[in-house]
Chain A
Amino acid sequence: MGTTLAEKIISRKIGREPSPGEIVVLPIDAAMAHDGTAPLMIKSFEEMGAKKVWDRKRAIFVIDHISPSSNEGTSALHKMMRDFAKKHGITLYDVGEGICHQILPEKGYVFPGGVVVGADSHTCTHGAFATFATGIGSTDMAAVFASGKLWFKVPESLKVNVTGKFKKNVMSKDAIIYAIGEVGADGATYKAVEFTGDTVKGMTMDSRMTMTNMAIEMGGKTGLIASDSTTKEFLKGRIDVPFIELSGDKDAGYSDVLEVDAAELEPQLSCPHQVDNVKPVSEFEGKPVDQVFIGSCTNGRLEDLKIAARVLKGKQVKARTIAMPASREVMLDAIREGIIEELVKAGCAVGVPGCGPCVGGHHGVPSPGEVVISTTNRNFKGRMGCADAYIYLASPLTAAYSALNGKFTVPPEV
């Protein structure tokens, strides 16, 4: 029997074939903590009495969650990170650089066959590059910073096979929301989610990262996509290890397979207050929306902003709309392509690259009773900082059309 992509990556690291459920210890290629998790990581690292970061080139800090800081408490935590980074000589991406999950691939920390851990649940995003990438907590991260290794249970894999051609108003976000609705919020717990099929093969890296980003929303340990020429093109000039093509075998043992017919999909929403509470946008057509957010590690990339700008070009939004590029690189590209100008002219509030309103920590907090359409990955009660707001997750296309009309809108199929 063949091996899944997760097993393939692990076997390359340990030099033999692993079996699902087995505990293995893996060397870490990159380890990242951000301002929501690094302060506790530092506390644990120092309390352990660890003296030195195992490899200063592989340890990364990112200030993205409350960035720039909105209050003294957060500023003190940011300072704590800067002091630690300086003391140990590790790289810290500061205010304005963007979201950790966009920065890591851009800066060459992520490559096919690698093992990446992040003190952030959406670390599964990096699986789009055929990297075994998973979220861990702060103390686990302290252990990695001290030793460069961590234990893992070899996961079973769930295959999500997407085939066929999307309608013109459907994006990869709709496919992943649909899949989460089918699998459920805990349907892939402890498992790797491997996305396959000609639809995934035909996607840009931007679209693929949206899929793997949300693997955690079905409980997944990581989301994985085979590396190919599209991956290679993105990583060109960024990584300093040889690029390899890796994919799961056709005859590998998957615990389950979800078949998704892309042509049948219509625009989807995750409705309050669970990501797996999935309904088509058409059921809400015409419902007023108070705030729209286009951004985050799910949908703040160039492709997403470009789509929003295309919809809003020469027009005015009717709902309060916030747009944030996922990184400085994305922002610069969006400036060069005139995207930022169109968004600003259309009435969007364009913000500093970072997590923004997604985590409800510092700005863009909705008021009680307000309805939000967001291109992010979570709609839990209180997620955006207000427990009495109603968050609907959607594609950038649905978000942009809904912003334009001030109400839930099924994007036209053009």
Chain B
Amino acid sequence: METLRGKVWKFGDDISTDLIIPGKYKFKTIDFNELARHTMEGADPDFSSKVSKGDVIVAGKNFGCGSSREQAPVVIKHAGVSAVVAKSFARIFYRNAFNVGLPVVECPEAVDKVKTGDVVEISLREGKIKAGNKTYSFKPIPAFLMTILQDGGLVNHYKKRGGFIWEKEPK
């Protein structure tokens, strides 16, 4: 979990949850394997057949804008994507991603430089992304969110600890 390595799929700015998983699918089922077949369909209709386990989505600003649908980070994770790197995230998507155990990092500099097909290595703990011979830094993930991520998302976090970390140490 702390270091992730994968091939890049690059997207633009303002990738909304309607592009990640159109509303018309999410109202009919909560079967994630079924939903995952439509991952990123609005932005790239063939994405789910091209993506491989461990790949990384790299996108511009405001990734995950729009609805609060948690299905968005869930299908990305189910499609095999190991992390999303973007210039910025819409806040509900950002929270949801940690809650479902999908690492997301904000690193505008790396987004500008990497392209589809590049291989990147992300160190969550150190706040570094390596691409080729370049290293880019990002603000490390807050400790309590890192704990949730390491527990495998909020459901597993609660199961493991019998409560939520912020109830005890809101930092």
Residues of A that sit less than 8 Å from B by CB: 23-25, 35-37, 39-40, 43-44, 47-50, 65-66, 71, 73-74, 77, 118-121, 123, 135-140, 142-143, 146-147, 149-151, 185-186, 189-190, 219, 221, 274, 359-362, 378, 380-383, 385, 387
Contact = CB atoms under 8 A, between A and B. Distances in A.
A137 B102 CA distance: 14
Contact of B23 (A24, A119, A274, A385): A385
30 contacts: A25-B170, A36-B27, A37-B68, A37-B69, A37-B70, A39-B30, A40-B70, A44-B155, A49-B158, A71-B28, A73-B27, A119-B68, A123-B68, A137-B68, A137-B95, A139-B70, A139-B99, A140-B99, A143-B154, A143-B164, A146-B158, A147-B163, A150-B166, A151-B166, A186-B88, A190-B91, A361-B23, A382-B19, A382-B22, A383-B23
B18 interface: yes
A35 B26 CA distance: 10
Contacts of A147: 163-164, 167
Interface string B35-63: 00000001000000000000000000110
A219 to B, nearest CB: 6
A40 to B, nearest CB: 6
A36 B23 contact: yes
B167 to A, nearest CB: 7
Contacts, number: 149
Contacts of B71: 40
A8 B144 CA distance: 26
Interface of B: 14, 16, 18-19, 22-24, 26-30, 42, 61-62, 65-71, 74, 88-92, 95-96, 99-100, 142, 144, 153-155, 158-159, 163-164, 166-167, 170-171
A381 B28 contact: no
Contacts of A120: 67-68
Given A120-B67, A361-B27, A380 B155 contact: no
B144 to A, nearest CB: 8
Contact of B95 (A24, A118, A140, A146): A140
B62 to A, nearest CB: 4
A274 B14 contact: yes
A35 B65 CA distance: 20
